[in-house]
Amino acid sequence: MGKAVVIAVAGKGGVGKTSISAAIVRCLCRRYPNKKILAIDADPAVGLSTALGIDVKMTIDDIRKEIISSVDIGDTRGAIELLNEAKFKIFDAMEETDGYYFIAVGRPETAGCYCKINSYLKEVISIVSARFDFVVIDGEAGIEQINRRVMEKVTHLLLITDASKKGCRVIDTIKSVADSLVMYDKVGAIVNRLPDEAAKAYIDTGSVEVLEYICEDKNLASFDIMGENVFNLPDNSNIVTGVENALKKMEVLG
């Protein structure tokens, strides 16, 4: 297996980042049914699981806490043994459905005296990701996660904004931070929830190239209300066609 395509999705909260992440997973599954695809929910709110219709039973942070607890009660195993245990537990915690695998990172890491264990688990995530052809990471809102945990090594950085000036400023800031902290190959933006074509004239994403504008999607709004799986959206839904076009421009889809 060659180098995995790792797509990290980031942006301001409330711009539809999670729905777009779910649509990316759908597009990859439809286009590459024989490839191994992993969806990582790195948002503490665990919204990607809802968009994909998955019931999360265990998160990576649950595994971290379980290992820390075993150390607390006097377990003296070495670092390599702890790393191997974490790796196996993460594979056990993965959900497999609709042609892809899913894992949630869980709650934010807390400060404490377990920095080495946290570091090992970050390496475990990297090791696990290497087993897949495509990895889609739905990151938490803002810039904090760009330089830690699963957001350090990506091939494609996809930044999401709505038509607001604040959203555009956030993705420009994220790119500036990522330029020095993330080893990405390609970067681009999706402007989501565009109210109309005329709004394009007022959008300024700074140094970030806009790959696609996606107009308000009534199908998606209805699905959100009903808690429906994004995989069941009509093929001509704005978010589905928009994400496909963006992935083609990033050369993820042939």
Please tell me the predicted confidence (pLDDT) of residue 77. Answer: 66
Please tell me the predicted confidence (pLDDT) of residue 113. Answer: 42
Domain at 5-249, CATH from 2.170.260.10, 3.10.20.30, 3.40.50.300, 3.90.1150.10: 3.40.50.300
pLDDT tens digits, residue range 140-175? 877 665 645 445 678 999 999 999 999 999 999 999
pLDDT tens digits, residue range 231-244? 999 999 999 999 99
Tell me the domain boundaries of the chain: 5-249
Least confident interval from 114-128, 161-175, 216-230: 114-128
User: Is 50 exceeded by the pLDDT of residue 203?
Assistant: yes
| Res. 78 pLDDT band, cuts 50 70 90 | low
* Sheet with strand 210-215: strands edge to edge: 95-97, 100-104, 37-42, 134-139, 5-11, 156-161, 186-194, 210-215
| Res. 112 pLDDT band, cuts 50 70 90 | very low
| Partners of residue 159 on adjacent β-strands | 10, 189
Which of helix, strand or coil describes residue 103? strand
Return the H-helix or E-strand segment holding 11: strand 5-11
**Parallel, antiparallel, or unpaired for β 100-104 and 95-97?**
antiparallel
Which of helix, strand or coil describes residue 65? helix
More confident residue, 125 or 194: 194
Please tell me the predicted confidence (pLDDT) of residue 149. Answer: 45
